[in-house]
Amino acid sequence: MASKDDLYSKVTPRRQRLSRPSGLKQGASTLDVLLSMGFPKTRALKALVSTGSRNVQAACDWLFSHVNDPFLDDPLPREYVLYLRPSGPLLHQLTRYWQQSRLTCGKNKAHNIFPHITLCQFFMCEDGKMEALAEALQTTVAAWRGRFPAPLGLQLYTSSNFIGLFVDDQVAEVLKSFAADFATEAASKADVHIEPHKKQLHVTLAYHFQANHLPVLEKLAKGMDVSVGCDWLAVMFSRDIRFANHETLQVMYPYMPQNEDELELVPGDFVFMSAGEQTSASEGWVYGSSLGTGLSGLLPENYVTRADECETWVVHGSHSFHNGALLPDPGGLVDGMLFDGQLLDGLGDLAGLSVLTPPMQLLRSSGEQSSLPKRSLFVCRHGERMDVVFGKHWVTQCFDGKGRYVRCNLNMPPSLPNRSGGYRDYDKDCPITVFGGTQARLVGEALLESHTAVNFVYCSPSLRCVQTAQNILQGLQLEGKTKIRVEPGLFEWTKWVSGTSLPVWIPPAELAAANLNVDTTYRPHIPISKLVVSESYDTYISRSFQVTREILAECQNLGDTVLIVAHASSLEACTRQMQGLSPQNSKDFVQVVRKIPYLGFCACEELGETGVWQLVDPPILPLTHGPNHSFNWREMLLQD
């Protein structure tokens, strides 16, 4: 077996084009090329199967990324499945239903896999027999050209927890005959056992959804015209058997390991997580395995987002029943992952297409590529707060008997605004630290560097939020140009306020007098008088949704960007219902809020002028920071 040094020497840098090794004939197979480069056959086969036999470059990239994969030499087979996938006008109808149902009712189980008809159960095939399996599918489809029923009769069916399109019984029997022929051909050519699908054939539209969503989902389904044209394609997919029952996550932000047991994260890569492997993970961390490298380790939970399992599947042939061409995936997409559809460098016919192997780039859907200006909403948590860093008694430590402020740490601000009600009001309305201001300016500078315009700034009445907004505007070089609109309706859940009264906030006029760039003419949508102590969770969620809608209605010009600077809870409370999603229960809500750091930042875009918004990648990188304990040189350095 080749050593790691030999392996590295055989693989060219990722973005370079591989040339044909000398001595190979023009008609040499992709496998022959890899073997001539010194790769062991088992590894070469695994790389080809894992990339859909796309080309030599893709296989080499996969091998390069998986050099340290502990399962690289394990002969585990992959799991395969055969689907019928729609194309043409029917695909557009189904895609629109997918999008509308997800926006109005949130994600349900049907969204985990693209629209399809299942023709067989998942089955296993050894890597060395994959080529024969693909040939079996191609042979079966060729034998069925001219015999395949068109169009397929589809009937809408709904129940309390399922909505789908069922294939007419007579047509379904024909499709099952095709699946049986494929199973026979696969057994003959590849020695693979396949169980054809025995249940009623159907396209699932929605299932495992909330009961109150049934009327909306059913209405959307009835609005589809399922009689429109469609060329059904026989498409074979495979998945890594090790992760068949794992949750699939996608990496949003890069992360470099700080400890040996941590996993490096590359944006666009996928991570597989099993509930049974989380015993070693601490709060805010999960244990997972990378699709891109095969390595496993701990990773920060807020660096990944939930994804659909099918986004990691590989395509091994997509065949039309009406012509002899091997086709790309319908629409060129499997849940957002593009196929390259290129010819092998003279090494064979058009390659089977597959998802791109990591390092991958996050690819935006066609809707995100529009050049039309969109309204954007940014929601940001405030910066590091004084009472968390220095304890709730910081006020008594920093103010003398005459109410004069003197800082006792470099991370405390040099001065603080005067308060007409006295310095004790700082107990419930603390400022940010010096580092908190630095954090906020970094965010503003990043927005400036990304050429992101901010047209309106709204913030909670809490001083820490006003100061954070001020520092963001400094970083954006908008201080003095854009005014901060102080909106009491953006204050956090009042149940979290200690005592029997709300904080006494500094009025806008006094904030302006303290050189904070506040709009003293702004009239709040929800005045302070409307806030109540210990409000219910439902009241807080409704308040946040109401004030966000009214703010966006106030700033309704196409292309405008609104920045809300408020609390950790605001990132969830101000955006979830704007996406057409139902509020989470209070327990899950609290778990989300606990994981949002200082200057946590999220972004939403409006879908056209529909009033429906979707979360998108923020224009700036995340800001990570850690705790720093107090240092006293006398105690530390003068010990006996």
Q: How many CB atoms lie within 10 A of CB 491?
A: 27
CA atoms of 444 and 470, how far apart (whole Å): 10
Indicate if 567 belongs to the active site: yes
Beta-carbon-side half-sphere exposure of residue 600 (alpha carbons within 13 Å): 17
What is the number of helices (H) and of strands (E) in the chain?
17, 21
Indicate if 382 belongs to the active site: yes
Where are the strands (E) in 277-427, listed by range? 285-290, 296-300, 304-306, 314-320, 333-334, 337-338, 376-381
Per-residue HEC secondary structure of 16-58 comes to: CCCCCCCCCCCCCCHHHHHHHCCCCHHHHHHHHHHCCCCCHHH
Taken as a whole, the chain contains a residue count of 640
As given in the structure block, the two tokens for residue 287 are 């244990």
Residue 90 and residue 228 in contact, taking contact as beta carbons nearer than 8 Å: yes
Indicate if 202 belongs to the active site: no
Catalytic residue among 54, 66, 246, 567: 567
CA atoms of 9 and 38, how far apart (whole Å): 10
Catalytic residue among 381, 441, 464, 576: 381
CA atoms of 342 and 620, how far apart (whole Å): 33
Residue 331 and residue 373 in contact, taking contact as beta carbons nearer than 8 Å: no
Q: Indicate the Cα dihedral angle 509, 513, 515, 519, nearest 10°.
A: 20
Catalytic residue among 197, 382, 464, 525: 382
CA atoms of 339 and 320, how far apart (whole Å): 17
Residue type (1 letter), 324: G
CA atoms of 541 and 583, how far apart (whole Å): 8
**At CB < 8 A and 24+ separation, what contacts does 93-100 make?**
93/224, 93/225, 93/226, 93/228, 94/203, 94/205, 94/224, 95/331, 96/224, 97/205, 97/220, 97/221, 97/224, 100/220
Active site (catalytic) residues = 381-382, 567
